Amino acid sequence: MIESAHALTLTDRRDRRFGWLMASPSLALLFLVILFPVFWAFYTSLHDYTLISPNFDTFTGSANFIKAAEDGQFRHSLWLTTFFVVAVVLLEFLLGFLVALALNKVERFKAIYYAILLCPLLMNPVIVGLIWRMFLHPNLGIVNYLLSVVGIAPVNWLGSTKIAIWTVIMVDIWHQVSFMIVLLLAGLSALPREPYEAARVDGASPLQCFWRITVPLMRPVIIVTLLIRLIFAVKTYDLIYIMTRGGPGISTDFISYFIYRTAFVSLNIGEASAMSIILLGIILALTVYLYRYMRSLT
């Protein structure tokens, strides 16, 4: 009995060593591609590193983090990004869930609907930004032309401080709502049919089935979808760079674009690295919270 247990332990150790050996190339690649840049950014954030003086001679400690936290424009960009993320994730989820529920009932031509939905999602964000920038041109854009046909005055979509942020939100929804639809539709397609059949026998209405069966069963899928979309929304940079460059003024100066300007316009790599680490910490905190919440549901 003792000998078999000892042999089993040796086998487990050999299997574990073999597993680490097989995983080591992937782990090394992961370190080089992801962890090394993060460590380099953190090390840079502790020094007075600029593109004018690219060296690590001056150790500043937490000075770059304090300077970033006290920067009013950084706090404004953080708040603006938070507003954008909440708006796009919430609106895309509501619209995506509604479309997914409708498509889940469709039996014919579902492949065609999938192809139509995936078209915006497959487009590069730079191409999306260029297309909508032309569509929304105040004088030559097709959107203002269509508005003029029905007697509505032209709108300065990207030149107004009050409208520009909502224009970016609208374009992002057009581009990314398909992502929500595809993931939610996959979750709806995988739901078991037995609870619905039992609920119909008991006389439950469609609305009751939705709130008592669909939503609870879809909760893990919803959490994962919101988490993935939230992370991508925080990193939004392409649309801002192509469509507004943070303008007019600083009305669309999201955190990713602000960090870019700090690094490559102000040339302060150390402070930009500190801002990046702060942003990474916020994203990790949200990820851990949502992951633990998702685990509590299973």
Tell me how far apart the 2 most distant CA atoms of the chain are, in Å. Answer: 90
Question: How many Å is the Cα radius of gyration of the chain?
Answer: 25
CB atoms within 10 A of CB 234: 19
pLDDT digits (tens, 9 = 90+) for 101-153: 988 888 787 778 878 888 888 888 999 999 999 999 998 899 999 999 999 99
Sequence-distant (6+) residues with CB within 8 A of 87 are 169
Closest of 26, 147, 174, 17 to residue 88, by C-alpha: 174
pLDDT digits (tens, 9 = 90+) for 174-198: 999 999 998 999 899 888 888 888 8
Mean pLDDT of 160-170: 94
Q: Which two tokens stand for residue 145?
A: 């032309």
pLDDT digits (tens, 9 = 90+) for 75-97: 999 999 999 999 999 999 999 99
Query: Under DSSP, is residue 240 helix (H, G, I), strand (E, B) or coil?
Result: helix
Q: Name the region of 249 (left: φ>0; alpha: ψ -120 to 50; beta: rest).
A: left
pTM of the model: 0.88
Backbone angles phi, psi at 59, to 5 degrees: -85, 125
Mean pLDDT of 218-247: 90
Closest of 10, 6, 243, 208 to residue 133, by C-alpha: 243
Closest of 75, 242, 81, 77 to residue 169, by C-alpha: 81
Burial 24-43 (b: 16+ CB within 10 A, else e): eeeeeeeeeeeeeeeeebee
Angle (CA) 237 241 242, round 5°? 120
Q: Which two tokens stand for residue 133?
A: 């920038």
> Is pLDDT above 80 for 6?
no
